[in-house]
Chain A
Amino acid sequence: MLGKVLKNFDIRTFWRDVRFLKWAGQVLFLILFAYSLVLFVQTGINNLQSTNIPFSFDFLGDTPGVSIAEGFETLPDSGLRMLHVGMFNMIRIMIGGIIVATIFGTLLGIARLSSNWIVEKAATALLEVVRNVPLLVQILFFQAFLLAFPRLEERDRGEIMFHVSSKGIAYPWPERQESAFMFFGFLLLTIYLARRVFKWRVSLLEKEGRDTNPFLWSFLTFLVLTFGNWAGGYKLMGIIGLISGYISTIFDSIPSIAYQALFSVIAVFFAFRYIRKQIRNTDTGEIRGILSDDDYFRIILSGVVAVFVVLLMFMPFGQNITYFLEGDELFYKSNWGMPQFFDGVAKRFDFNISGPPVIMSYPEIVQAGTTKFTRYSPDLGKVTTVGYFATWFGVTLYTAIFISEVVRSGIMAISKGQSEAGLSLGLRRRSLLRLIILPQAFRVMLPPMGNQYLNLAKNTSLGVAVAYPEVVAVGQTLYNQEGQTLPVFLVWMIFYCSISLSISSIINYYNRKMKIVER
């Protein structure tokens, strides 16, 4: 075949071959791009060297010596730990924000289509105000709003139900107990079982044509199992703990070279299979044997990736990965690794744990230290601090407003015929909305909604303006202490990229699932 190619080779036609030109152009572009990138990075490294602060990640292991306002640890002993707290704080706000913004945004969207004059006008006014003011100004404003409440010292000490002061908002909260993980593990199982029962009854209904009460059945299943769960059924989940314990030992006992070899073999194997698939796919039908540009590209890329993975595995980076899997090395003062993770799971899912999974706990105002000061007890109830509230409320409201626009346009995109058809079937307005309009509108709404979630995740970074210690604020504190701006920036970048990727992959998954099967 090669000889045939060479025989037909003609330099003049070759020069005018579009395929050659395309590839030549791309390779040229790639070289230029890579060259400028390398130049950029090289300059950066050189310049850093000359500013006496060489690029290094060592600050992750150093003790920052600065305490942070809130989070699961307020006096972290390493930079990594500190960033960890910041990330956790950011995710906390993001999840709370997404849930509330979705609910509130949907309500607002429906309110804007309401026939009630004052509701419609109030919703529109809210939209026009929130949409047209920078989020940063709004967040600063909500902080001022909460700070305008009276001081906590104005109120007597003792137990309270719900209280707002300039120190934050305190409210009752179901406190997680030892058995909570097992309980919620069992709950997930219960939900899955109830769903299976529902499907089974529905299929029975479709087969036999009689009313099989699928909803009632599944609800009863759920109720019975949950009751059993609460009464101690969760102990069943101890099996997970048992298995985790074994997994932990397995991870612990495999030597690191085995991992390196394993990953290399896997990478080469998959690359080989992928390339074979590409070639075989084109080996059928009319276009037999002709590979398109994209096919060539995929083949080359997969080969390169495989080689890269193999190389990486035997470099320090690969070594670090195996350390992580083995759980042997201390990772910047943190005892991270797979065995540690499974050990943790095993500890939480233990047959010996008993007692209720959650206990309602009420906030209390207690004396602080030895002085006249008071504060909300840190262990009882739940306290939302000013920074948290301002950031959370700001991003939630801002996102909710945009979600309401998405919802409104989604509902309006459903043709009027749909609701008329529903009404003529005798559905009530509420059922019409629930059964016909919203499910269809949801499909239209999902992609823009995903964008709004992404925006919300990114906007949490404005917490830095109201002293909420999320990952940007914490990172800033870190580089103010250590001077390592570039590594901190890389950490931010990796963190936000992975958050964005996870959100968009979840949205894409649902999008694919919800898509109309086009015929």
Chain B
Amino acid sequence: MSKKAIVSLLVLSMVAVACATDTAEEEVAVEEEHDHSDESTLEMVLERGFVKCGVSGSATAFSETGADGSITGFDADYCYAVAAALFGDYSKVEFKSLTSAERFTSLAAGDIDVLIRNTTWTQSRDTELGNDFGPTTYFDGQQLMGRNSDGISSSSTLADIDGLSVCTNAGTTTEKNITEGAGLVGATITLVTVEKFSEAMDKFIAGECDIVTTDGSALVGRRAVNDALNDWSIFPQSPISKEPLGPVYRSNDSMWGDVINWVVYATIIADEYGVTSANVDSVDTDALPELGRLFGANDGELQTVMGLSADAFYNVIKQVGNYDEIYSRNLNPVGLFREGGANDRWTNGGLIYAPPAR
């Protein structure tokens, strides 16, 4: 009896293990199906049904989290635009809020499909880290801000900050830029590096720092919000660094890269023609053949070759809007305007330019 019991126990446990292995193998098989390391991101995303977009989640006007948890902003709108092009439905986005330290790791690990997190295009990021950069959506540059009452004016230079304490935010190129810039003119500064720009502003307002420095867009925005147009000055006139911000994707994936690039270009081209989400339906595509090609009026061959539906870019403009709309919707409320700046249309002397759609 006893021996029988032991044997039956053993047999049972064998059965248990066998059953479990079977099911486990099934699960592993399912997992393998999802392993797309050789596949283009485009196919993967289309199969999945939504696009994973890396954003900041706490960058004013670029990607901010609203009171209901939704994510809005300039960068977020480009994520929506990509989704609109791919699926015809702008809401098919899953945002991943990333810190600046983890953004490239996330992209490399395949956590996200595209990174649109006010990321500066630099040589080392483009080459060394295995990324590719899309067209620049926003031209920024690092500047400094100080109080008029302390003797700072918009004509001040870097030499004027000798001996001052300067606040900046960490994890980006800003710390290095200001250290290098100050070193070049022989100014010694006390650099207080905080995690977030809002903390740097707190320290500036309270007076721990005499000067605050970061990307010009953030400075202008914050000055407008604090209603200090006449109290605070931003200097020097030409930024101390170039910060072209745009989408980033993994390198060696041109199918996917083309989609991202042309979503951005489509918004710019639409802006050149003055086509907005409001009047996109009434565009005379015969009179404007370029728009016709872009919006897929004539079988949309250009889009279908890319792996998109013919009306992909029509959907982008219809559901999200053109460059100007995206810009004004998000950046005008914080005091950033296109007119006369680097982000104006190229016909007005700005840098926003797209190759032709033909």
Q: Residues of A at under 8 Å CB distance from B?
A: 51-53, 65-70, 74-75, 144, 146-153, 165-168, 368-373, 375, 386-387, 464-467, 469, 473, 476-477, 479-481, 483
Residues of B within 8 A of A373 (CB): 150-151, 163-164, 210
Verify B206–A166 contact, CB threshold 8 A: yes
**Is there an interface contact between B101 and A480, defined as CB atoms closer than 8 Å?**
yes
B192: chain A residues within 8 A (beta carbon): 69, 387, 467
Report the 9 A-B pairs with minimum CB-CB distance, sorted nearest first: A151-B207, A147-B206, A369-B163, A368-B163, A369-B162, A166-B207, A372-B151, A166-B206, A467-B194
- B195 contact set on A, CB distance < 8 A: 464-465, 467
Whole-angstrom CA separation of A368 from B183 in the bound complex: 17
Contact yes or no, B206 A148, CB < 8 A:
yes
User: Cα distance A361–B129 when bound, in Å?
Assistant: 51
A375 touches B163 (CB 8 A): yes
Q: Which of B20-28, B172-180, B295-303 contacts A (4 or more CB under 8 A)?
A: B172-180
Q: Give the Cβ gap from B165 to chain A, nearest Cβ, in Å.
A: 7
In the complex, A481→B176 CA distance in Å? 8
Q: Once the chains bind, are B206 and A370 in contact (CB under 8 Å)?
A: no
Asked whether A66 lies within 8 Å of B175 as measured between CB atoms, the reply is: yes
| Chain B interface (Cβ < 8 Å from any Cβ of A) | 100-101, 105, 108, 128-130, 149-152, 160-165, 170-172, 175-176, 179-180, 182-183, 187, 189-195, 199, 202-203, 206-208, 210
Contacts A153-B150, A167-B208 hold; do A65 and B179 have CB atoms under 8 A apart?
Answer: yes
Contact of B207 among A69, A165, A469, A483 (CB under 8 A): A165
Pick the residue among A67, A149, A167, A464 that contacts B189 (CB under 8 A).
A67
Known: A69-B165, A74-B191; 11 extra A-B contacts, CB below 8 A, are A68-B191, A69-B190, A166-B207, A368-B162, A368-B164, A369-B161, A375-B164, A467-B194, A467-B199, A467-B203, A477-B170
Hey, which chain B residues are within 8 Å of A465, CB to CB? 195
Distance in Å: Cβ of B291 to nearest Cβ of chain A: 41
A66 contacts B163, C-beta separation under 8 Å: no
CB of A65 within 8 A of CB of B162, answer no
Q: How far is the CB of B112 from chain A (nearest CB, A)?
A: 15
Given the complex of chains A and B, what is the CA–CA distance between A233 and B312 in angstroms?
Answer: 88
Give every chain A residue within 8 A of B163 (Cβ-Cβ).
368-369, 373, 375
Contact of B101 among A149, A387, A476 (CB under 8 A): A476
Contacts of A469 in B (CB 8 A): 193
How far, in Å, is A180 (CB) from chain B's closest CB? Answer: 26
* Interface hub of A168, A370, A373 (most chain B Cβ within 10 A): A373
Name the residue on A nearest B202 (C-beta). A147
Instruction: Take A167-B208, A371-B150, A480-B170 as given contacts and tell me if A51 and B130 are in contact as well, using a CB distance cutoff of 8 Å.
Output: yes
Tell me, rounded to whole Å, the shortest Cβ–Cβ distance linking A27 to chain B.
Answer: 25
Q: Does B150 lie within 8 Å of A479, measured CB to CB? A: no
Q: Is the CB of B190 within 8 A of A52?
A: no
- The 8 Å CB contact of B164, one of A65, A69, A70, A371, is A371
Which residues of the other chain, B, contact A153 by a CB distance below 8 angstroms?
Answer: 150, 207
Residue of B nearest to A51 (CB): B108
Nearest CB on A from B151, distance (A)? 4
Assembly CA distance A503 to B285 (angstroms): 77
B147 to chain A, nearest CB (A): 9
Give the contacting residue for B193; candidates A52, A371, A375, A467; CB below 8 A.
Answer: A467
| Residues on B with beta carbons closer than 8 Å to the beta carbon of A386 | 203, 208
Whether B165 contacts A375 by the Cβ 8 Å rule is yes
Residue on A nearest B191 in the bound complex, by CB? A67
Q: Which residues of B contact A51 (CB under 8 A)?
A: 105, 108, 130
Among A52, A149, A477, which residue has its beta carbon within 8 angstroms of that of B175?
A477
A368 contacts B108, C-beta separation under 8 Å:
no
| Docked-complex contact B179 and A371, CB < 8 angstroms | no
**Measured CA separation A144–B129 after assembly (Å):** 38
Rounded to whole angstroms, the CA-CA distance of A153 and B180 in the bound complex is 27
What are 25 residue pairs bridging A and B, where the CB atoms are less than 8 Å apart in the complex? Answer: A53-B129, A65-B176, A66-B175, A67-B179, A69-B192, A75-B183, A147-B206, A152-B207, A165-B207, A166-B208, A369-B163, A371-B152, A373-B151, A373-B164, A386-B203, A386-B208, A467-B195, A467-B203, A473-B193, A476-B171, A477-B170, A479-B101, A480-B171, A481-B176, A483-B129
| Closest A residue to B199 using CB positions | A467
Question: Which A residues touch B164, using CB under 8 A?
Answer: 368-369, 371, 373, 375
Closest Cβ of chain A: how far from B201's Cβ, in Å?
A: 11
- The closest CB in chain B to the CB of A366 belongs to B163
Q: What is the bound-complex CA distance between A372 and B161, given in angstroms?
A: 11
Expressed in whole angstroms, the Cα–Cα distance for A473 and B169 within the complex equals: 12
Q: What is the minimal beta-carbon distance from B228 to any residue of chain A, in angstroms? A: 15
Q: Smallest CB–CB gap between A139 and chain B, Å?
A: 12
| Residues of chain A within 8 A of B202, CB atoms compared | 144, 147
CB pair B190 A369 closer than 8 Å: no
- Closest residue of B by beta carbon distance from A386: B208
Q: How far is the CB of A473 from chain B (nearest CB, A)?
A: 8
Knowing A52-B128, A480-B171, the reply to whether A65 touches B210 (Cβ < 8 A) is no
CA distance A75 to B178 in the complex (A): 12
B146 to chain A minimum Cβ distance, whole angstroms, is 9
Complex Cα gap A166–B192 (Å): 14
B58 to chain A, nearest CB (A): 15
List A contacts of B172 (CB < 8 A): 480
Q: Measured between C-beta atoms, what is the minimum distance from B128 to chain A in Å?
A: 6
B190: A residues at CB distance < 8 A:
67, 69-70, 74
- The chain A residue sitting closest to B210, CB to CB, is A373
Q: Which residues of B sit under 8 angstroms from A151, Cβ to Cβ?
A: 206-207
Question: In the bound complex, what is the Cα–Cα distance between A375 and B165 (angstroms)?
Answer: 9
User: What is the minimal beta-carbon distance from A308 to any residue of chain B, in angstroms?
Assistant: 35
Structural contact, B176 and A66, CB atoms closer than 8 A: yes
Most buried by B among A75, A152, A371: A371
Residue of A nearest to B129 (CB): A52
Give every chain B residue within 8 A of A74 (Cβ-Cβ): 190-191
A149 to B206, CA, bound (A): 8
In the complex, which of the residues B151, B152, B161, B190 has the most CB atoms of chain A within 10 Å of its own CB atom?
B190
A51 to chain B, nearest CB (A): 6
In the bound complex, do residue B150 and residue A68 qualify as a contact, i.e. CB atoms below 8 Å apart?
A: no
Q: Which residues of chain A have C-beta atoms less than 8 A from B180's C-beta?
A: 65
* Nearest CB of chain A from residue B4's CB, rounded to whole Å: 24
Question: Closest chain A residue to B178 by CB distance?
Answer: A67
Query: Which of chain B's residues has its CB closest to A465's CB?
Result: B195
Q: Is the CB of A370 within 8 A of B160?
A: yes
A476 surroundings in chain B (CB, below 8 A) = 101, 170-171
CA distance A147 to B183 in the complex (A): 28
Nearest Cβ distance between residue B18 and chain A, in whole angstroms?
24
Of chain B, the residue at the smallest CB distance from A69 is B192
- Complex Cα–Cα for A347 and B164 (A): 34
Q: Which residues of B contact A146 (CB under 8 A)?
A: 208
Task: Tell which of A68, A371, A387, A473 touches B151, judged by Cβ atoms closer than 8 Å.
Answer: A371
Contact B130 A69 (CB under 8 A): no
Cβ distance B108 to chain A, nearest Cβ, rounded Å = 6
List of A residues within 8 angstroms of B151 by Cβ = 371-373
**What residues on B are CB-neighbors of A165 within 8 Å?**
207
Q: Which residues of A contact B129 (CB under 8 A)?
A: 52-53, 483
Contacts of B207 in A (CB 8 A): 147, 150-153, 165-167
**Cα separation A153 to B172 with both chains bound (whole Å):** 30
**Inside 8 A of B175's CB, which chain A residues have their CB?**
66-67, 477
Please report the C-alpha to C-alpha distance between residue A156 and residue B219 in the assembled complex, in whole angstroms. 30
**Shortest CB–CB separation between residue A488 and chain B, in angstroms?**
11
**Distance, CA A75 to CA B183, complexed state (A):** 10
A66 is contacted by which of B105, B152, B191 (Cβ under 8 Å)?
B191
What's the Cα separation between A469 and B182 when bound, in Å? 20
A150–B208 alpha-carbon span in the complex (Å): 10
Say yes or no: A368-B208 contact (C-beta < 8 A), given A52-B129, A147-B203, A477-B175: no
CB pair A147–B208 under 8 Å, yes or no, is yes
Q: Which residues of B contact A371 (CB under 8 A)?
A: 150-152, 160, 164
